[in-house]
Structure 1
């Protein structure tokens, strides 16, 4: 099958845009060339090119179409209009019933013609995040486009990016591309296939595959580091970025001056990564090493001495700047930065960072006893947690927020637990990041994330669809992970209520003040008479006693969001999220540890033969009740013992009564496995009942009593979980 290869060759493309652009190119090609593309194209990308390669049919025939026209005897004008619309003549019409019909034959689509037709508009509308125009052309690309390579079955497919009188400087698709700008020069070479393309680029010092460039960089740096008894600090994002900056990677090692080795290792790594795209190295015991790795895009003639020396000189300047901020910030206590936070807006509707710090201080103190932390230390840590945002270092490197606060707290003589909490309260930053474990750090971290959720939910900024500008999903998953991984027995609704209350009170007060100001202005302008009202009808109350229901409703809203994130997390782990939903449906529980323990016990029971059969019996009973309730239900009254005539129904009634009591006692004691074991004992009497008893007996009293017995069976199981929500 013919092979299609397309390459867009330009000036250097920002590394962060390359992968997405190549994927977009593949998706657009598959959509635009859909009649002939047989599979999704394969993306290729690098510093100066994005490309796609895939198989497609040489030609295809579209199916014929049948268009129904005017009725027989319609005015000539109607018939002529129909023919003009479809570019046909009257001879092509056929009579079918009471209508004229036009049958259009299928068309043969040639691949080369389709490519030449579809590619120009595709490229003109390419979705770059940012693009530019150059010269007199109105064509926009991320950087000036220099060549278009388009090969189909070994032959070039020429097309121009023409648009009206704009010929884009005569740029025409052909079968040529270029290698490395420095090592191979600008002389183009011909390409006839993907194999010839990748081989030709390699001969001209370009590795076409981004994955291979990453491998060369990673293995090269690891080899150089190992030769000196060191290891590379893992940084997957930096590796991918550097692979997008070089076409022919050559790893080299440089040295860091000993004068800078007393700087915090996180500071050195951030300086090297953010400013220079250098890789940090460390000793096997984790200590920072006085070495760094760089990746050259050329083969140095002197073994890299000049390149290394130049980068060492640049790094000295960068680290000198970092030392300036480090020394300057440590001249004052961390607490002295706090007044500046009153001038830093956190969110237009939620006030300043200073206001938020006061909320965190209060909330962390309330959370502390529940997680085994000292309330005074938790409050102190929360008070200082955001102080480093006003420091010079974090102003220069926002990535170091929290990290620098920890160092400044230690330098200022704060309790080590307070410093640890300051450094850890942003965690976890991602799925692979560890959660805080020290109690004070846990209290501050939970306060930070719960306040974040409460604040943005209070002002109506909850996530919608794929949009989550304030990272509330990440905050919710962080709360869940902290609770699960530390086994915390927390009443989340109570904590959320305490987090929501001061925010809603402040918002209500702001609305009240705004209304007062509006009335005062109207009075001054003579729009209303009388004195300024002291009580504004309809203004929001800021009394906690009268607004508790509003606060609790908002807390439930946030808790529902957390519960949904928990289900997402469990689904990602391959766990039975439907069982969690079933347990929660029976007894809404804001203690996540207890909820998951109960769910785990139920999952174990359902995995046994008794549990599986009991689930099937429940569904059978529920189906019978649903059908019969439509007729003359509901059948939810008490079971009448005198009307239990058959042995199996007497046994089932006794078993249900005994099991309900035993299950209730076990659940109260949080003996969830015991509760499920008691529930599983119902399997035998349930089987015997369905085998030996006709539910819809001819005697209406017996029928009604047996339906009530089935209802009692379902109710006994629903006390453990809403079994109707369990899948399968």
Structure 2
């Protein structure tokens, strides 16, 4: 079957856009083919800095003929309806239509429309220009003389040529005939900009890929990545170093070159006195180069003082070398290219060294007053006020996580200070890390310094979770302040929108608690933090200033002020309770997401959170784990079925009687052995489960509840719940309620899905 080859040749496409653009091209073309009834066998898309390419193989040579029956108006219907039917179907008269007999609805006209399939070449000629004109670039431009005309083509960079061929592998393909803004589709492409700029005639994909390779263009982005990585590793190894791999940088560099050639350069050892992360960020950001390190074995004594040890334990020190990727085979072996990069790196590292040394001259705490002039959020005050809240909350959390309170206060106070340093201003991705370096340089405790870096963690599902108690306390305080603050001003995530990354913050709190196995009751902490934020908003409002500026007209300003203050306190309490409740529900939703990703059932989280007072997230997780294991057993499945049956009966009867059946059943009304046996089993299970829950042994609690199963099964098998005697019926419904009550020692079984 025929294949399609499409190439869109342009000026350099930004590296960050290439992968998505290739996928968009594949999706748009193949979706349109399928919509046209042309089912293909396979498709692959490619991107280089100067081209998007697509090959689709196994496309039918033409569309299938279509036969369609179109139902028309009823026989004898209005003339206008019949005329519209004839026009829509292309029939000359009703003689060309058939009559569909329908005894119930009456007879209708039916038009048999035969639509011959079109040649795929013609379909492509119609659809490809539309796809090119509507291509979803994040940013696009117009160029040249045509740019001022209405409907001018917009592309990410000026488009120069289009290759579009279609045909069998064993035959000479045909060109798909179309033109866009004077650019006609053909069979001509171009190789490397400098090493093979001449036009190249191509026919089909295999021919196209081979000729590009000969013209110094590696079409496949993954192949370019493999070349860069392998050559860089080999070059580093040959000189006694190890390459520091960087996948994001590798992806970007592969999008900057069509013919990767790897070289190694160097910089002065004096720059190794600054943190290795600053060197790496400088070289990565400004020149898109990789850095290398010494092997993990100990350095010679003479080099230890010059090299700064990497932040990652177990790695060798950073070396004064870098690996660059050129887009050309230089005639001088790359000497000029390397020298140019070394010159730029030397200047950039000089700047970085100056920034770092300048930052060291100012202590972190001396930077804090500037935060009072920086607004965090118009409704949540300044960064300075936020730091004070985090410090207060971290000190409150510290005893709960085993952290030293004074160290935690100090860590929380300094944690954000590096945001105002020169290095972080230049390289924002180093925030926190530079705070750690500056804190250590000014003699802070190691835990205090570590918290500057670690309080931002974890920032994603694969990020490391801090374990140092001081870092944990500050990290929790930072995230809780963010969550409570935005909940208090009603800036919650909605749908897919989460501009303040509140879902990530909540997952961070959950991971900090669960992975460090922390026991914290959050209701009061969340409520009190919300109240403090409300109080701060009241104190910062202009209303107080306006009251104090009132003229002396006999108005009792102090009384008004006290009344407003009391009203604000009451409002703060209401908001605090609401925020606490809402945030715990939000934590439950986030916990469900995390547990679902780990293979657990989300409905079990609902079953546990349905119990009152479940604000200890670690205990929630333990209950969920025990409940999941229990429900995997036969006893668990059968008891769940029995409990649900009891709940269903109670729900029906409570709705009918418009009352609940709370309260203990009366033993004297038990008339059957199965009633007495169930009551005894419930009493025993309640005691054993309660003791187990108090000891936080939820597996034992589940085992105690599991003992109910035989008695529950026998009760439903032998006992008629809705007895004719009202008192007996009520007593038996109360006994069913006891089943519900005793199982709620661990979870609300009514929330569990079958």
TM-score (normalised: structure 2): 0.87
Q: C-alpha displacement at 1:21, in angstroms? A: 1.4
Q: C-alpha displacement at 1:556, in angstroms? A: 2.1
The answer (yes or no) to whether the contact 1:177–1:191 under 8 Å persists in 2 is no
Are positions 1:723 and 2:749 aligned together? yes
Between the aligned partners of 1:709 and 1:136, the Cα distance in structure 2 is 87
Between the aligned partners of 1:650 and 1:63, the Cα distance in structure 2 is 74
**Aligned residue for 1:186?**
198
**Aligned residue for 2:273?**
262
Q: For 1:256-277, what per-residue CA distance to the aligned partner results, in whole angstroms no more than 9, with x for missing partners?
A: 3211111101101111111111
Q: C-alpha displacement at 1:13, in angstroms? A: 0.7
The answer (yes or no) to whether the contact 2:674–2:719 under 8 Å persists in 1 is yes
Label 1:151 to 1:538 Cα distance change in 2 as closer, same or farther (>3 A). farther
Q: For 1:169-201, what per-residue CA distance to the aligned partner results, in whole angstroms no more than 9, with x for missing partners?
A: x212223333222232232231313x3333332
Between the aligned partners of 1:331 and 1:374, the Cα distance in structure 2 is 28
Are positions 1:142 and 2:153 aligned together? no
Between the aligned partners of 1:347 and 1:160, the Cα distance in structure 2 is 54
Label 1:150 to 1:720 Cα distance change in 2 as closer, same or farther (>3 A). same
Between the aligned partners of 1:245 and 1:482, the Cα distance in structure 2 is 40
Q: For 1:312-362, what per-residue CA distance to the aligned partner results, in whole angstroms no more than 9, with x for missing partners?
A: 222111101101111111122122222222232322333322222222222
Q: For 1:551-603, what per-residue CA distance to the aligned partner results, in whole angstroms no more than 9, with x for missing partners?
A: 12012222222221111111112123322221111244111111111221222
Q: For 1:684-713, what per-residue CA distance to the aligned partner results, in whole angstroms no more than 9, with x for missing partners?
A: 222333444454566666555444333322
Label 1:10 to 1:671 Cα distance change in 2 as closer, same or farther (>3 A). same
**Aligned residue for 1:457?**
487
Answer with 34-43 or 322-331: which moved more. 34-43
Are positions 1:173 and 2:185 aligned together? yes
Label 1:498 to 1:227 Cα distance change in 2 as closer, same or farther (>3 A). farther
Between the aligned partners of 1:537 and 1:316, the Cα distance in structure 2 is 64
Answer with 388-397 or 494-503: which moved more. 494-503
**Aligned residue for 2:616?**
591
**Aligned residue for 2:257?**
246
Q: C-alpha displacement at 1:39, in angstroms? A: 6.6
Q: C-alpha displacement at 1:609, in angstroms? A: 2.4
Are positions 1:158 and 2:153 aligned together? no
**Aligned residue for 1:119?**
128
Between the aligned partners of 2:436 and 2:418, the Cα distance in structure 1 is 9
Are positions 1:299 and 2:329 aligned together? yes
1:417 to 408, 422, 447: 447
Between the aligned partners of 1:515 and 1:85, the Cα distance in structure 2 is 75
Q: C-alpha displacement at 1:715, in angstroms? A: 2.5
Label 1:583 to 1:40 Cα distance change in 2 as closer, same or farther (>3 A). farther
**Aligned residue for 2:51?**
49
Answer with 364-373 or 627-636: which moved more. 627-636
**Aligned residue for 2:640?**
615
| Correspondence 1:255-404 to 2 at 5 A | 255-283=266-294, 284=296, 285-286=314-315, 287-404=317-434
Label 1:620 to 1:555 Cα distance change in 2 as closer, same or farther (>3 A). closer
**Aligned residue for 1:526?**
none
Q: C-alpha displacement at 1:721, in angstroms? A: 0.8
Between the aligned partners of 1:478 and 1:488, the Cα distance in structure 2 is 13
Answer with 594-603 or 688-697: which moved more. 688-697
Between the aligned partners of 2:258 and 2:567, the Cα distance in structure 1 is 63
Between the aligned partners of 1:276 and 1:234, the Cα distance in structure 2 is 16
Between the aligned partners of 2:217 and 2:566, the Cα distance in structure 1 is 69
Between the aligned partners of 1:280 and 1:463, the Cα distance in structure 2 is 40
Are positions 1:476 and 2:502 aligned together? no
Q: C-alpha displacement at 1:101, in angstroms? A: 5.0
Q: For 1:479-501, what per-residue CA distance to the aligned partner results, in whole angstroms no more than 9, with x for missing partners?
A: 11111111111122222223322
**Aligned residue for 1:2?**
2
- List runs of 5+ in structure 2 lacking aligned partners: 101-105, 147-151, 297-313
Between the aligned partners of 1:196 and 1:465, the Cα distance in structure 2 is 48
Between the aligned partners of 2:512 and 2:675, the Cα distance in structure 1 is 48
Between the aligned partners of 1:85 and 1:356, the Cα distance in structure 2 is 68
1:554 to 579, 591, 611: 579
Are positions 1:217 and 2:228 aligned together? yes
The answer (yes or no) to whether the contact 2:11–2:159 under 8 Å persists in 1 is yes
The answer (yes or no) to whether the contact 2:364–2:439 under 8 Å persists in 1 is yes
Q: In the comparison of the two structures, how many residue pairs are matched?
A: 713
The answer (yes or no) to whether the contact 1:60–1:110 under 8 Å persists in 2 is no
**Aligned residue for 2:26?**
26
Between the aligned partners of 2:666 and 2:207, the Cα distance in structure 1 is 86
Between the aligned partners of 1:398 and 1:415, the Cα distance in structure 2 is 24
The answer (yes or no) to whether the contact 1:388–1:404 under 8 Å persists in 2 is yes
Q: C-alpha displacement at 1:668, in angstroms? A: 2.1
**Aligned residue for 1:445?**
475
| Correspondence 1:674-693 to 2 at 5 A | 674-693=700-719
SS in 2 for 1:128: coil
**Aligned residue for 2:307?**
none
The answer (yes or no) to whether the contact 1:281–1:288 under 8 Å persists in 2 is yes
SS in 2 for 1:430: coil
Label 1:589 to 1:57 Cα distance change in 2 as closer, same or farther (>3 A). farther
Are positions 1:657 and 2:683 aligned together? yes
SS in 1 for 2:217: coil
CA-atom RMSD, angstroms? 3.1
| Correspondence 1:414-563 to 2 at 5 A | 414-509=444-539, 513=543, 535=560, 543-544=568-569, 547-563=572-588
SS in 2 for 1:185: coil
Q: C-alpha displacement at 1:368, in angstroms? A: 1.6
2:669 to 628, 636, 643: 643
SS in 1 for 2:72: strand
Are positions 1:15 and 2:15 aligned together? yes
Between the aligned partners of 2:706 and 2:325, the Cα distance in structure 1 is 64
**Aligned residue for 1:710?**
736
Q: C-alpha displacement at 1:388, in angstroms? A: 1.6
The answer (yes or no) to whether the contact 1:402–1:423 under 8 Å persists in 2 is yes
Label 1:540 to 1:221 Cα distance change in 2 as closer, same or farther (>3 A). farther
The answer (yes or no) to whether the contact 2:124–2:176 under 8 Å persists in 1 is no
1:602 to 627, 642, 656: 627
Label 1:399 to 1:536 Cα distance change in 2 as closer, same or farther (>3 A). same
The answer (yes or no) to whether the contact 2:374–2:382 under 8 Å persists in 1 is yes
The answer (yes or no) to whether the contact 1:541–1:547 under 8 Å persists in 2 is no
Label 1:159 to 1:708 Cα distance change in 2 as closer, same or farther (>3 A). farther
Q: C-alpha displacement at 1:292, in angstroms? A: 1.8
